[in-house]
Amino acid sequence: MTSAYVLQSRPYRETSALLELFTPEHGRVGAVGRGARAPRSRLRGALQPFALLDIGLTGGGELKTLTHADVEALPPPLSAERVLYGWYLNELLLKLLARDDPHPLLFSAYVHALEAVSGAAADSALRRFEWRLLQEVGFGLAHLPEGEGQSWRWTAQGVWQRAVAAEGITRATLEALAADEATLDAAQCIAARRLLKPVLDQALGGRKLQSSVLMRQFRTRLPPA
C-alpha cells in the first residue's frame, strides 16, 4: 500500500481506466483500474483529481494493476481558476517525469502546492514547485550565485550570469525559492517567473502545456475588475 494522487485518468475498454499516478516511493506510475468506471465500482468515487489516496498495486511491468484505492484526504476546495492551477501541476509532472523514478521530495512539494493554490499564496506555491521540479529533473539551479545585491539570470548553458535588475532575479529571491518554508511576495513571484519560464520551456523541449492555454483563455473571459 502506498499514498498516491491521480495525475490523469483516461477511459479504457468498456468500464476500466488507464491511470497515471504519483507516489512518493515509485514516482509516476502507470496503472489500469479495472472496472473503475462501472456504476457500482468502489474505485469510481475514489479516483478523483487532487485527492490523497491509499492504493494497492500489483504487477511488475510498466503498467500495473490497481487493486484498491481509498481516499485518505479529500481534494482542497478549488475555484474554477485554481482547478487549472492543479491541472498545471499535474501536466508538468506528466511531461517531465519518467515512470518508476521516485522523487519523494517532489511528492512533498506537490502536496504543499496543492494545499496552497486555493489561498492567497498560490503564485508563490507554483513558483516554488517549478523550482523543485526543475532541480529534480536535472536542470540545476540549486547552487546559488555569489553576490548580495546583484541580479542574475540562468543561461541556456546552465550557468548563472549577471543581469540588469529589470531582467534578473536577486539572491534573496533565490534563497526564498529554495527555502523549505517561505512565501514569495508579488515582486519576487514576477522575478521567479521570469527566471523559471525559459528553463521550463527548455525542459519541455517545445511541448505545449494545455493547462496554460486554458488558463489564458479563462482569464480573457473574466469581466473587468
CA 18 vs CA 27, 34, 44, 70: distances in Å: 17, 9, 13, 17
pTM for this prediction:
0.92
Q: Tally the C-alpha atoms within 13 A of residue 194's C-alpha that lie toward its C-beta.
A: 19
Stretch 1-27: mean pLDDT, rounded? 95
| Beta pairing partners, 4 | 53
Tell me which amino acid residue 193 is.
R
- Residues of 213-222 as b/e, b for ≥16 C-beta within 10 angstroms? eebeeeeeee
Residue whose C-alpha cell reads 540562468 in the numeric block: 154
The pLDDT value given to residue 139: 85
Query: Closest Cα partner for 94 from 110, 78, 81?
Result: 110
What's the pLDDT tens digit per position in 67-107?
Answer: 999 999 999 999 988 999 999 999 999 999 999 999 999 99
List of domains in the chain: 2-73 (2.40.50.140), 80-220 (1.20.1440.120)
The pLDDT value given to residue 224: 56
Q: What are phi and psi of 34, to 5 degrees?
A: -70, 125
- Residues of 91-110 as b/e, b for ≥16 C-beta within 10 angstroms? bbbeebbeeeeebeebbebb
